[in-house]
Structure 1
């Protein structure tokens, strides 16, 4: 049954985004956690993690956004407006995947009207993505990435964002397994098939862990869930 459940979760996570997708708010009366998917993904890519959080009493806002069609600044504004709708007296936590981590950093750089809690970034290209760098030599692929994706190169927006605000409790989880041999070999160094582990590091982190996960499914990895829940509950990183 466990294997069947894992396959169900993977199929759900690979469901493409749809124009009619809407924010998924699950109010459990617990601390709110905003979930942000990555490039070309939809809210369902974060849903197994959302279920795990809800099972521990957290309220979750699983946000879809048009990652392939709009630039990072516009996406950050859209996310801000959605988060403001559920903001209250409790700090708002974030768990992000890939591009989602850059969007949270962009939000914090502009300032937010709510109290930000803990931030957990999964496989973020915090220092840019070598795959995006490589795509510049392949115009069709580079175009398909969209404006936000094209901005994730080593010389792009991630490197121009300011440090995390003082007092921010943030952690990063990177993967070191790839199911795409071509990209794994292209990157060379330890990587998850899309981002090298070294590119996930930024100053000011409370924790940094590398786990045996690939870029696509790192959100549902048991170690990701364990580390995330413990950090949200205690503020301690035990990776």
Structure 2
């Protein structure tokens, strides 16, 4: 009696190998969902002196999960495990770790800085508004949205000017800008708040200028007209 062959899917069962495999998607999705759920519970139903820290972790979980979901729904041909944006760039990782580190250091040495008050609530509102704007941008643009700059106009590319794009010219950038600054205001991280503001302004001012050169090349006068009647919503970047 011959032994039944072992299914290839079992022998190739690998995790964290960078491939967009079902097991990796499941583990990443479960991890982000668990982070979001546990953090919301700790922030809202458990007596904690630092709800803002748990709300920040919940915001992180929601942000990365929604990034993947949007690409999976509307741009599946470009879907990768990197669409979670967990390892987006060394700069992003450094910024996230810096925010957490600053909060913990200041909470240990200056706990009076980390009480929950009006500024924390304003920061939370900015996080929510930023996330909603970015998610609406991805859902409005559909297959036209990409995590990377598109250097060539593809056949399916159209100039999106409806929905949130009728109000903001780069709503995904607007969303991330206020999400990031709001997260640091919510955690009352003065050093990271200032650092984020400087770095994000420099990055988006250069990125938007470059992208708009490409978009003008793609869509010509239509984009010039669209640009003239809309704003980025980011201070000092028209």
TM-score by length of structure 2 reads: 0.29
Bigger strand fraction: 1
Scaled by the length of structure 1, what TM-score is found? 0.29
Larger-gyration structure (1/2): 2
